[in-house]
A and B are shown apart, each in its own frame.
Chain A
Amino acid sequence: MGEGAYLGFSAGSLAAILAMALASYLCRVLGVILMAHVPLTTPVRRGLAALPGSIIVAIIAPLVVRGGPAALAALGAALVSMLIRRNELLALAVGLTVVTILRALGV
């Protein structure tokens, strides 16, 4: 690697990184700022209450559909483990064990 590979940069690349950092920070604060200006009526409260679970379900739903049998089995096993013993760490271990075994078997 030449010198440029370590400390190389240009005004343009720094500006791009700065712009991306700003865009990310904007996403992080925007929801907080917006909600500070919305009065907490019953519907708003209920909408906020439903939000975390909805985000999580929205993230995993396409994965469940497209992820293939090994991923599906891992998520299913983690869910069952969580229903029996409410322990995220255990659920993670169970899910990873299932997917490792299934993938080793070529599933």
Chain B
Amino acid sequence: MTEAAPPPPVTLKGMLHGARLITPLIPGSLVFAAAFGTTAAQKGLSVLETMLMSAFMYAGSAQLVALELWRTDVWTGAAILAIATVVFTVNARMILQGASLQPWIYPLPNRVLWPSLALLTDANWLIGTRYHADGGRDAGVLIGAGAALWVVWFAGTLPGRLVGGLVDHPERFGIDLVMPIVFTAMVVPLWKGRQDTICWSVAALAALATASIAPGYMFVVAGGLAGSLTGALLGVLDDRRRRPHG
């Protein structure tokens, strides 16, 4: 084992900061949640089932995809396994996101770490990553952002499920582009030099190649892995150069 790092602080101030950082993403999340609720009504889910999904899955794209496989008649073991497997593949990108957070949050005490991870989503990962890249250590930022968005997600699902068709053509205002725009903006502060240019180019190419041959969301995993492996390879080369006889 490596030396134990001191656990990062978790403060209320950090949580509030995280909740504040997430505010630009609230309108988009509300609309997305309402859209999920509306679709759930069309697919025949009860209000209870819809709200349980939002509360315990808390994963927008995976929930929408799951509705395509939803059954209103009989659930066989095979059908349950199938829907859970699809959810796993849609959410597989979070495995990589968790890996990237590990050096920062793993020293947290177990009773904080494992419940906090239930709140991991694209949005608070993005905010936490930016905060940490700027030198921040307070894990409360990650937790606060995740918790605030969970409330928004849960609250936004209900009117969508009850009323349905609440938001007609949200794409008119670019709501569908909120997350992509924030992701794009985030690339700028994360760029640290030529190595990132190389890794990210590989990631983009791998993602595009995968998207053209594989259905679903595997392109995110393929791109992320390819970029990361490229970074590791550059690390190996650097090691060799520094120790030519090692």
Contacts and interface: CB of A to CB of B under 8 A. Distances in A.
Nearest to B202: A54
B64 to A, nearest CB: 12
Contact of B204 (A15, A57, A82): A57
B95 A54 contact: no
Contact of A7 (B48, B58, B106, B202): B48
Given A8-B48, A54-B224, 19 more contacts: A6-B46, A6-B48, A7-B48, A17-B52, A20-B62, A43-B232, A47-B231, A48-B231, A54-B203, A55-B93, A56-B183, A58-B204, A58-B226, A58-B227, A59-B180, A61-B203, A65-B208, A74-B177, A78-B181
Interface size class of A (residues with CB under 8 A): 35 or more
Interface in B187-246: 187-192, 195-196, 199-200, 202-204, 206-208, 211, 219-236, 238-239
A23 B174 CA distance: 31
Interface of B: 2, 24, 45-49, 52-53, 56-59, 62, 66, 70-71, 74-76, 79-81, 83-85, 87-88, 91-103, 105-106, 113-114, 117-118, 120, 122, 126, 129-130, 133, 171-174, 177-178, 180-192, 195-196, 199-200, 202-204, 206-208, 211, 219-236, 238-239
Most buried by A among B24, B120, B173, B180: B180
Contacts of A82: 184-185, 187-189
A57 B223 contact: yes
Contact of B196 (A32, A50, A92): A50
Contacts of B171: 103
Nearest to A56: B183
A71 B171 CA distance: 11
Nearest to B126: A56
A10 B44 CA distance: 13
A92 B181 contact: yes
Interface in A22-54: 22-32, 34-36, 39-54
Contacts of B62: 20, 24
A49 B129 CA distance: 11
A39 to B, nearest CB: 6
Nearest to A79: B184
Contacts of A39: 2
Interface in A67-87: 67, 71, 74-75, 78-79, 81-83, 86
Given A13-B75, A19-B80, A27 B95 contact: yes
Contacts of A65: 208
